Structure 1
Amino acid sequence: MTTLEMQAASPAKAAAMHPDEWQARAQLAACYRIFDMLGWTEMIYNHITLRVPASVSGGERHFLINPFGLHYSEVTASNLVKIDAQGRVLDNSPYPVNPAGFVVHAAIHEGLADAHCVMHTHTTAGVAVACLENGLEQTNFYSAQLHDRIAYHDFEGITVHAEEGPRLLEHIGHRQAVILRNHGLLAWGHTLPQTFAILWTLNRACEIQMATFSMGRARPVPEDVAIRCSRDSLQFDPRHGAGQDVFDALVRRVDRIDASYKD
């Protein structure tokens, strides 16, 4: 979606805001609606966050987050909340922010230079695999694409304590797919579409593993094949769009269902 198309959706609100911020807001709001369409919601909980472009923030690490209390289906470009790493609201929003959202997300946005977007889910498959002693095993087409791409972080309780941040960052390292043990899934990326592609692949791997294990013992993918699969999986690579085509297709589906996220 171009900036002009997004401005046309809500001209008065878009005109009052830096076009780069409005574009980021529209993209993030669309992503919340995609999560809703896919059934990746958890009542009013969980979060997708996006850094505010440097052209708007002047280089400060500000980011956009969902207004706490609204369902993902109610998120729009204009009601997203702009906050800093301490959770301070920067745009006079009337909505509160969930501390469990900004503590983890802010740590990643602040601590990883390339973490433009962070996504966290509590899907049934994701939480189920996060509760397994061995986590995600090398047994299917999707897990093979994530060979040596997955980090694990041990459960420390509800994520409202800032001191957990450094340990989380240490465990993540450079890996963009994260399994929060006993908790759920997380992904971060250079762009929102790339982050989505990583999280979708991770969640799909968990779904297949859960289905496979329900039938019995899984056949492992050989290490050399998994290495090759991870190398050949181009959907995460910026040189090959990094998930943009998939994200665009899902935005078109959302537009056909309800385009009010552009408001």
Structure 2
Amino acid sequence: MADGAPAAAATDETALRRDLAAAYRLIALEGMDDGIYTHISARLPEGPDGQKRFLLNPFGLRFDEVTASSLVTVDESGAVIDDPHGAGVNAAGFTIHSAVHMARHDAACVLHTHTVAGVAVSSVEEGLLPLNQWSAQFHGQLAYHDYEGIALDLGERERLIADLGAKNVMILRNHGMLTCGRSVAEAVKLTLNLERSCQAQIGALGMGLTPRPLSDEIAAHTAAQYQKGYDRIEVDGRPDPEWAALLRRLETAAPGYDA
């Protein structure tokens, strides 16, 4: 191994831990967490023996308590490899995440939420409608998966992955939302916009007036504009001012997340 490689690997893991801890804190700050039972996972570089490794929150900690150093390293089955906090993980809760990570190697981060707005939209036949700029972002980009009960059945993983396909956003019907990101930052930004879309839909339809959906043409055009912006960051490597701004917000609202 070339000189400096271990240090580079450590730096990568340090940055990933910081970003994942930030994701937990941001989701909590937005009121989008759900007790101790939902998860955000991130893929680590493979271990020396090719072992698949992922970061997950320690079981029992609220999202607003997660720090970079408390994150647990698990394998693809959710078995603990390294546990700095000492509380283990909710392995059953990693079922969905492990399936996505193992099938989609582009999914560096998988974020699952059960918000009131997200669950509400997941509970109607129409799902998310192209009613505004936020929801237009997801036009043609949404996958749907039917509810099969609490996600403990390993057999469900194949069906979930088949439904997800190559898309990065999935509505788990009667359950919640799932987003995949090429980075932690992308997963968080997609999730925040998805949540706003759901809230806006509930607000618009709740007024009792006539909804005015965007045309397929305009919605598709808007989705492509959003995608181009994300690709500039994730593919071209341009700076991500939105993620930087979110991290600055945490420095004020939740300092210590990166400890």
1:64 is aligned, of 55, 58, 64, to: 55
Distance 1:20 1:210, change over 3 A: same
- Give me the whole-angstrom Cα distance separating, in 1, the residues matched to 2:52 and 2:238: 23
- Give me the whole-angstrom Cα distance separating, in 1, the residues matched to 2:166 and 2:54: 21
Aligned positions, number: 247
Residue 172 in 1 paired to residue 172 in 2?
Answer: no
Summarize deviations over 1:213-247 as a string: whole Å, max 9, x none: 10123111111111111111144322576893222
Residue 143 in 1 paired to residue 135 in 2?
Answer: yes
Residue 31 in 1 paired to residue 13 in 2?
Answer: no
Q: Percent identity?
A: 40
Q: Is the 8 A contact 2:38 2:114 kept in 1?
A: yes
Question: Aligned-pair distance for 1:58?
Answer: 5.7
1:88 is aligned, of 71, 79, 96, to: 79
1:221 aligns with 214
TM-score by length of 1: 0.88
Structure 2 gap ranges (5+): 1-6
Q: Is the 8 A contact 1:197 1:242 kept in 2?
A: no
Distance 1:21 1:211, change over 3 A: same
Q: Is the 8 A contact 2:79 2:91 kept in 1?
A: no
RMSD of equivalent CA atoms = 1.9
Question: Aligned-pair distance for 1:138?
Answer: 1.8
Which stretch shows the higher mean deviation, 135-144 or 111-120?
A: 135-144
1:40 aligns with 32
- Give me the whole-angstrom Cα distance separating, in 1, the residues matched to 2:134 and 2:213: 12
- Give me the whole-angstrom Cα distance separating, in 1, the residues matched to 2:48 and 2:184: 18
Summarize deviations over 1:187-217 as a string: whole Å, max 9, x none: 0021111111221221111111010110123
- Give me the whole-angstrom Cα distance separating, in 1, the residues matched to 2:240 and 2:82: 29
Residue 247 in 1 paired to residue 243 in 2?
Answer: yes
Question: Aligned-pair distance for 1:76?
Answer: 0.8
Which stretch shows the higher mean deviation, 167-176 or 252-261?
A: 252-261
Matched AA of 2:230: F
- Give me the whole-angstrom Cα distance separating, in 2, the residues matched to 1:60 and 1:109: 13
Matched AA of 1:251: L
Matches within 5 A, 1:122-141: 122-141=114-133
- Give me the whole-angstrom Cα distance separating, in 2, the residues matched to 1:224 and 1:32: 36
Question: Aligned-pair distance for 1:91?
Answer: 0.7
- Give me the whole-angstrom Cα distance separating, in 1, the residues matched to 2:137 and 2:173: 20
Question: Aligned-pair distance for 1:57?
Answer: 5.6
- Give me the whole-angstrom Cα distance separating, in 2, the residues matched to 1:243 and 1:145: 21
TM-score by length of 2: 0.89
- Give me the whole-angstrom Cα distance separating, in 1, the residues matched to 2:183 and 2:207: 37
1:76 aligns with 67
- Give me the whole-angstrom Cα distance separating, in 2, the residues matched to 1:242 and 1:205: 26
Q: Is the 8 A contact 1:119 1:195 kept in 2?
A: yes
Structure 1 gap ranges (5+): 1-14
Summarize deviations over 1:116-136 as a string: whole Å, max 9, x none: 100011111101000011111
Matches within 5 A, 1:184-263: 184-216=176-208, 217-233=210-226, 234-237=228-231, 238-239=234-235, 244-263=240-259
Matched AA of 2:216: E
- Give me the whole-angstrom Cα distance separating, in 2, the residues matched to 1:188 and 1:178: 9
Question: Aligned-pair distance for 1:166?
Answer: 0.6
